[in-house]
Structure 1
């Protein structure tokens, strides 16, 4: 049975997800970021997470080879940030407040959570690559509401 990609995407869109921006540094030291909603926890002990990235994404080579990256879990007031990092071109980092932790990877400010990770493994996954990361450092807020993505649109809790 052949599954048409648009129908598959529409079916997957029925599953509401949180929205993240994953950040890293290019080999030249430039900050890189991409919007990701294919993010999951894997294990509590050791603390492992995963996300996947499209092989066609301009930032794919950076994330495939990155030793460290940060998963930034967005709050509902960061929709513009998600849209900015979802674009394939443009000045993504202009006026984006960020800090760095031990690995030197950009950490976005005011997110619900930030998870600094070391690459644990990389797996092939069709037109995507699955990156497994070990969480080294984290921070999270007790307040705030998540930015959600459902049926092709941004949502908030209660929408």
Structure 2
């Protein structure tokens, strides 16, 4: 790396915001909430995720970013076939259930197998079936890129939204 590029990189590190400021400012960006699921052949698996984004139309890719401390993501990764369940405005309880580690997250949740075998959650606003293709390390998260294989949506529903540390919906 040239001395000029190194100096710019060093300056960027010195002026980077602290984690609390970054979290506060980024909380102003409203996101949808999804539960990403898979089935390992023995049991259903899943976790709540807010960092879901449509990545490409051709080929059809979706991306999401699990934290590196996730105990669920390594299990879903092994299954490879996922269902991204976009939660509806009235599914805050489902969001909370899948946001914690351990336990049987599916005990009180209505679900059925999607076409790829991953759990499709009842009442979800949209379902996106996908297969994991690529992962990239990115700080304290992993960027996952998955190829969309099937999808469906409820055109009449409203999304569960996350904004400034709280949940809500469209009014």
* Band the TM-score falls in, shorter-chain normalisation: over 0.9
Structure 1 residue 119, shift from structure 2 partner: 1.1
Match of 1:139 in 2: 152
Match of 1:103 in 2: 116
SS of 2:155's equivalent in the other structure is: coil
Asked whether 1:10 is paired with 2:24, we answer yes
Structure 1 residue 29, shift from structure 2 partner: 2.5
> Superposed, which structure 2 residues align to 1:6-155 within 5 Å?
6-26=20-40, 29-155=42-168
Measured at CA, do residues 67 and 89 of structure 1 come closer, stay the same or move farther in structure 2, by a change above 3 Å?
Answer: closer
Q: Is the contact made by 1:114 and 1:138 (CA closer than 8 Å) also made in structure 2? A: yes
Q: Is the contact made by 1:64 and 1:122 (CA closer than 8 Å) also made in structure 2? A: no
User: Any stretches of 5+ residues in structure 2 without a counterpart?
Assistant: 1-13
Structure 1 residue 49, shift from structure 2 partner: 0.5
SS of 1:54's equivalent in the other structure is: coil
Single out whichever of 89-98 and 130-139 deviates more from structure 2: 89-98
Identify the structure with the greater strand proportion: 1
SS of 1:10's equivalent in the other structure is: helix
SS of 2:37's equivalent in the other structure is: strand
CA distance in 2 between partners of 1:71 and 1:101 (Å): 10
Which consecutive segments of 4 or more residues in structure 1 shift more than 4 A? none
Structure 1 residue 101, shift from structure 2 partner: 2.3
Single out whichever of 67-76 and 100-109 deviates more from structure 2: 100-109
The normalised TM-score by structure 1 is: 0.93
CA distance in 2 between partners of 1:85 and 1:12 (Å): 22
SS of 1:72's equivalent in the other structure is: strand
CA distance in 1 between partners of 2:73 and 2:94 (Å): 19
CA distance in 2 between partners of 1:102 and 1:79 (Å): 25
SS of 1:84's equivalent in the other structure is: helix
Q: Is the contact made by 2:46 and 2:98 (CA closer than 8 Å) also made in structure 1? A: yes
